[in-house]
Amino acid sequence: MGFTMTELFRNRRILWIGITFIAGMAAGSLIFERVLHMTPATEKPAPVTPPEQRQTSGRIHIDTAAQKNVGLAFAQAETRPIGRTLQATGVVSPNESRLVRIKPLARGRIESVNVRLGDRVRAGQVLLVYDNIELGEVVGQYSAALAALDKAKADAEVTRRSLERAKALVDIGALTRAEFEKRSAEYKNALASIESQTADLAKTDEKLHRFGLTEDKVKSISPHEGSGAHRMGSQSRLTAPFDGVVIKYNAAAGQAFGPEDEVFVIADLSTVWVLADLYEKDIASVQRGQDARIVADSYQGETFRGRITNVSDFLDPKTRTAKVRCEVPNADGKLKLDMFVVVQLPAPGVGQAIMIPTTAVQQINDRPVVFVQFSATEFEARNVDLGSRSDAWVEVKSGVKDGERVATTGGFYLKSTMLRAQIGGEE
């Protein structure tokens, strides 16, 4: 069979295209096979999770030994009466029944100040010493009264002797009866003068004691004292009436002051008042003598216990709130004056609900999460919707069923284990 030159050229071209196609397919197959079996040099080995901490199907496995090491504990979700807690903002204030505003009893000039603002003082501690102008005058009056009394007693003694001589002369007829009566009257007047001077002295003595002079100090005053002794006797002291803290201070050496000047304010802060604003609609749920819980941002997780001692009889016309006063023990001094706090007031219950201990709730991505136990070593994290709180329990609106066991103590360990497993899975 013969071919023309044109046909021969065409057939050779088709044959070359076929051979090239087959060769290309073979090379591609070889390259693809090599890619499939190639292991990158930078590939990391899969993370190995310890056998006691494994996460499968969204659940966490913790063996019993690990649970014991972290002190894992559980509680059962249960249907309980649900309480209602009212919350009101409040401010820490001093206990007005244990607060004293100290003023001087008389005009004077401060000689020395022994305390400063914020100092803790003890009962009887000297706060300041001042020159008591009025006390100096009273000391002088007392000294003069002593002298007057001594003179009255001396005069009485003279008239008494004169009367005794007159009586002897009258008996022998050497003195008239009229003269005897005169001397008798003089003696009675002398006795009356003694009584008057004694009364004046007692009044002055009382003034000295009101200024704080002790009995021994008063007795040491002599009717013959000079002005220097008077100046020493005019020193007065302001002392603390009980243990407390100086919360107001207005005194300086050399300062003149009087009875109208408030020099110190001392408060006993072992108990404080918390004054809270309660809305009008909640007043009926609160009464005097009721327990209250106080929480402060400064002490996260800590609760202070108090008692309601007064509910105001009138409302603030602007805020429509009533003042509620709680008395709170503060022996450790944690609650500071003017500190903002929240007052939690238990109110009557409103039914029943499934509740779990508050310690069972963990926060993951700003959502409340509870770890539910499925078996001795298996746990599941569930998002929950929470409701009202009652003491150490919280209502669970969804996410946990009645009777299920939830982790309480050690829940943070479960949270950490779950997050660590998630991070390993992402890697």
CATH number of the domain bearing residue 392: 2.40.420.20
Assess whether 282 and 330 both reside in one domain.
yes
Assess whether 410 and 420 both reside in one domain.
yes
DSSP of 332-392: T--SPTT-EEEEEEEE----EEEEEEGGG-EEETTEEEEEEE-SSSEEEEEE-EEEEEETT
Q: Residue 321 belongs to a domain with what CATH number?
A: 2.40.30.170
> Three-class SS of residue 108?
strand
Average pLDDT, the chain: 82
Assess whether 191 and 247 both reside in one domain.
yes
> Of the candidates 336, 347, 350, which has an alpha carbon nearest to the alpha carbon of residue 279?
347
Specify if 34 maps to a domain: no
Rounded to whole angstroms, the Cα distance separating 263 from 101 reads 8
Assess whether 328 and 418 both reside in one domain.
no
DSSP of 215-273: HHHHHT--TT--HHHHHHHTEEEEE-SSSEEEEEE---TT-EE-TT---EEEE-TTEEE
Of the candidates 323, 347, 371, which is a domain's last residue?
347
Assess whether 117 and 243 both reside in one domain.
yes
Which pLDDT belongs to residue 11?
A: 52
Specify if 20 maps to a domain: no
Instruction: Give the structural domain span for 148.
Output: 104-261
Buried b / exposed e over 94-129, threshold 16 CB at 10 Å, is: bbeebbeebebbbbbebeebebeeebebeeebebbb
Within 10 Å of residue 223's Cβ, how many Cβ atoms? 14
Of the candidates 317, 347, 377, which is a domain's last residue?
347
Assess whether 127 and 238 both reside in one domain.
yes
Give the pLDDT confidence of 316-334 residue by residue, as tens digits.
Answer: 999 999 999 999 999 999 9
Q: Tell me the whole-structure pTM to 2 decimals.
A: 0.57
Assess whether 78 and 88 both reside in one domain.
no
> Of the candidates 340, 218, 336, which has an alpha carbon nearest to the alpha carbon of residue 277?
340
Give the pLDDT confidence of 187-226 residue by residue, as tens digits.
Answer: 999 999 999 999 988 998 888 888 777 788 787 787 765 4
Helix axes 177-210, 133-171, angle to 10 degrees: 160
Assess whether 109 and 160 both reside in one domain.
yes
> Of the candidates 360, 396, 400, which has an alpha carbon nearest to the alpha carbon of residue 72?
360
Query: For the chain, how many structural domains are there in total?
Result: 3
Residue 47 predicted with pLDDT over 90: no
User: What is the pLDDT confidence band of residue 13, given thresholds at 50, 70 and 90?
Assistant: low
